[in-house]
């Protein structure tokens, strides 16, 4: 799982250790001057330079260095020590100005000096100046060495400039500077951060071809790249490959592989890895497996793992509980989700925003709109110093929609006491849920107003939006408006689906446009949109209302030829069509079919 908005752990806290291992200082070996065995470290100059701030002028730096020019010219190690000290303090601008003063004063500049500047840029997360200096070294008749490139590659990788990092690695070979494991590891790390798992694997294979032996850091970065790329099977192959290369997978290796299984919904594989003897599991390990079980709707297994954690002397944290609450939500167990939220307080684990969002979503799926609103607005989130976000409100709006509370849904989305008060902008999901709520409440005018507001706020309706609005128009017997919306969707080059046609056909049926309903059904076939049971029911109902028994019967048979099983509603519509046309033989035939399929006629069937 990652510690992101989704709260799925992807090892940010552990990866820092890996980044620290990849990190290279870019400084030369400590000189005798630094050890106090030769010239003393020029600490007054260093303190004076640091006292100038982060962006001094060249003149200010020149004044500080004026009295030391002779010393610097006679011993380049003194300048190296000052530049390295500034690099340690993350003062890239000061380092750059010192280098300019050295050049203007004809003080010898060597590769060590430039490396100190590049290192300072990396420490300050300024990869572009580091890259510029690396390019300028050639014009200064200096040859970048392995340290120069390694620091620059690491700087680019940290900043997400993976393309530049890979190009620098290629450049090393071009100028005959042999890359080492640090060079490759930094580049692979950049590919991982950039989501380029294919390139990360290619670099890993290239290492062996270049006679550079991959180490644990190399494999860990590649496994993490596969994890982010949802390539769980490749992550497991790499994990197995570590042992084959004489390397011992560590907690970072296992956690990255577990997270890959979580993203790939491979809960059984994740559970197997967790139980392996060679793995030293920690919170991240357990959290990933709980999340994997949740995504696969394996709530009992997720709960068993959560309860197992204290027995292994690993206390669940807010991510552990949040993953379990999400598992309860996925399984539709709102009671379990609320119980876990309450248990967190008893265990003195502070819920986070994802904990509450998952609990609200669980209530939404369980049809508990009152509890969803209580979690959102009851004050518990405010007491935990958490502000509801768009996900929180969207789940609550959807809960109101399912609870047929269209007024509350509109208030949450657009009302003064809802998202606007929380300084949140409704997104497409918010509007779609609000329109669907209006459709459920047969409030077509309200649905159309919400659609209008959505467009006024420069949000493009999706097919989901149009489906909800067309459904609302159908419920409100506004067939003309439903057809207008269908044309508008076509105008936006959106592809209508079975839900669209079903809603439009139903709207035409309710509006008395029986012929048009059947034309829409034929248009659906032409557009190669496969009808489902709901579409057939709407079309057969239109035939019944239009007194077209033969077409209704043909549609029923076409439905069966397609491999769809008619339900009671379908048979009721077909029986109604045959009954209105006086075709009693067909009516008896359809009743016999229902009996053969163990379908019990309901009141609507007999009324037909």
Q: Is the pLDDT at 34 greater than 60, yes or no?
A: no
In a domain, 541, yes or no: yes
Angle at 317 between CA 316 and CA 322, to 5 degrees: 100
Which residue has 């079309």 as its token pair? 539
Which of 366, 381, 396 terminates a domain? The answer is 381
Burial class (CB in 10 A: 0-12, 13-18, 19+), 184: buried
Q: Is the pLDDT at 469 greater than 50, yes or no?
A: yes
What mean pLDDT do residues 290-304 have? 94
Query: Is-contact 400 437, C-beta < 8 A?
Result: yes
What mean pLDDT do residues 419-445 have? 93
In a domain, 489, yes or no: no
pLDDT digits (tens, 9 = 90+) for 235-244: 999 999 998 8
Query: Is-contact 555 591, C-beta < 8 A?
Result: no
Closest to 144 (Cα-Cα) out of 181, 169, 124: 169
Banded model confidence at residue 16, pLDDT cuts 50, 70, 90: very low
Structure tokens at 360: 């609200």
Burial class (CB in 10 A: 0-12, 13-18, 19+), 64: buried
Where helices occur in 90-145 by DSSP H, the ranges are 92-104, 111-123, 127-139
Q: Is the pLDDT at 200 greater than 80, yes or no?
A: yes
Structure tokens at 163: 């393309």
State phi, psi for 398 to the nearest 5 degrees: -65, -35
pTM score, two decimals?
0.73
In a domain, 402, yes or no: no
In a domain, 590, yes or no: yes
Task: Give per-residue burial for 116-150: e unless 16+ CB within 10 Å, then b.
Answer: bbbbbbbbbebbebbbebbeebeeeebebbbbbbb
Which of 381, 400, 433 terminates a domain? The answer is 381
Q: Is the pLDDT at 245 greater than 80, yes or no?
A: yes
Which helix (H) or strand (E) segment is 15 a member of? helix 12-22
Q: Which range of residues forms the domain containing residue 599?
A: 531-608
Distance CA 421, CA 414 (A): 9
Burial class (CB in 10 A: 0-12, 13-18, 19+), 438: buried
pLDDT of res. 208 = 75
Of 142-146, 229-233, 390-394, the range with the lowest mean pLDDT is: 142-146
Q: Is the pLDDT at 470 greater than 50, yes or no?
A: yes
pLDDT of res. 448 = 94
In a domain, 108, yes or no: yes
What mean pLDDT do residues 310-324 have? 94
In a domain, 19, yes or no: no
In a domain, 118, yes or no: yes
pLDDT of res. 43 = 53
Please tell me the total count of domains within the chain: 3
In a domain, 128, yes or no: yes
pLDDT digits (tens, 9 = 90+) for 111-164: 887 887 788 778 777 788 788 878 878 767 788 889 989 999 998 998 889 999
Query: Is-contact 462 478, C-beta < 8 A?
Result: no
pLDDT of res. 67 = 61
Which of 322, 354, 381 terminates a domain? The answer is 381
Query: Is-contact 129 121, C-beta < 8 A?
Result: yes
* Residue 523: alpha-carbon gap to chain centroid: 37
């Amino acid at each position: 799982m990652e510690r992101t908005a989704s709260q799925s752990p992807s090892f940010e806290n552990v990866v820092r250790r890996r980044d620290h291992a990849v990190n290279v200082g870019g400084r030369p070996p400590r000189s005798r001057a630094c050890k106090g065995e030769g010239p003393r470290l020029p600490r007054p100059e260093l303190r004076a330079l640091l006292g100038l701030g982060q962006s001094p002028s060249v003149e200010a730096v020149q004044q500080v260095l004026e009295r030391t020019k002779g010393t610097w010219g006679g011993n380049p190690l003194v300048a190296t020590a000052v530049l390295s000290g500034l690099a340690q303090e993350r003062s890239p601008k000061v380092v750059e100005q010192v280098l300019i003063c050295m050049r203007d004063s004809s003080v010898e500049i060597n590769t060590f000096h430039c490396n100190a500047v590049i290192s300072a840029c990396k420490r300050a997360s300024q990869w572009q100046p580091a890259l510029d200096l690396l390019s300028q070294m050639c014009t200064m008749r200096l040859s970048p060495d392995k340290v120069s490139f390694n620091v620059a590659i690491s700087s680019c990788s940290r900043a997400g400039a993976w393309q530049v990092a890979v190009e620098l690695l290629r450049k090393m070979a071009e100028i005959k500077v042999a890359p080492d494991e640090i060079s490759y590891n930094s580049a692979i790390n950049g590919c991982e951060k950039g989501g380029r798992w294919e390139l990360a694997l290619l670099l890993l294979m290239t290492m062996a071809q270049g006679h550079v032996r991959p180490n644990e850091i190399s494999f860990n970065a590649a496994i993490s790249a596969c994890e982010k790329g949802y390539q769980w099977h490749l992550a497991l192959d790499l994990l197995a490959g570590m042992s084959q290369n004489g390397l011992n997978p560590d907690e970072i290796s296992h956690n990255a592989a577990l997270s890959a299984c979580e993203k790939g919904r491979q809960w059984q594989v994740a559970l197997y890895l967790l139980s392996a003897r060679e793995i030293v599991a920690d919170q991240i390990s357990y959290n990933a497996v709980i999340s994997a079980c949740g995504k696969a709707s394996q709530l009992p297994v997720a709960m068993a793992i959560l309860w197992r954690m204290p027995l292994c002397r690993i206390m669940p944290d807010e991510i552990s509980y949040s993953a379990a609450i999400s598992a309860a939500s996925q399984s539709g167990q709102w009671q379990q989700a609320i119980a876990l939220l309450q248990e967190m307080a008893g265990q003195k684990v502070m819920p986070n925003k994802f904990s509450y969002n998952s609990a609200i979503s669980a209530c939404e799926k369980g049809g508990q709109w009152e509890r969803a609103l209580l979690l959102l607005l009851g004050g518990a989130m405010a007491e935990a110093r958490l502000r509801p976000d768009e996900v929180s409100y969207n789940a609550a709006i959807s809960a109101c929609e399912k609870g047929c509370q269209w007024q509350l849904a509109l208030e949450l989305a657009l009302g003064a006491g809802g998202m606007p008060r929380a300084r949140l902008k409704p997104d497409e999901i918010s509007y779609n849920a609000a329109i669907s709520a209006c459709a459920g409440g047969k409030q077509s005018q309200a649905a159309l107003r919400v659609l209008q507001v959505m467009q006024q706020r420069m949000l493009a309706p999706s097919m989901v939006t149009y489906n909800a609005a067309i459904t609302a128009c159908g419920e409100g017997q506004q067939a003309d408006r439903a057809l207008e919306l269908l044309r508008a969707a076509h105008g936006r080059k959106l592809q209508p689906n079975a839900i669209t046609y079903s809603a439009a056909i139903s709207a035409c049926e309710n509006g008395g446009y029986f012929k048009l309903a059947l034309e829409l059904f034929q248009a659906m076939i032409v557009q190669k949109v496969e009808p489902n049971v709901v579409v057939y029911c709407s079309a057969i109902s239109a035939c019944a209302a239009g007194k077209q028994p033969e077409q209704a019967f043909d549609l029923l048979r076409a439905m069966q030829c397609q491999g769809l099983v008619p339900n009671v509603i379908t048979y009721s519509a077909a029986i109604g069509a045959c009954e209105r046309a006086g075709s009693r033989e067909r009516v008896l035939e359809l009743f016999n079919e229902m009996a053969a399929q163990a379908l019990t006629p309901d009141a609507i069937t007999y009324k037909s």
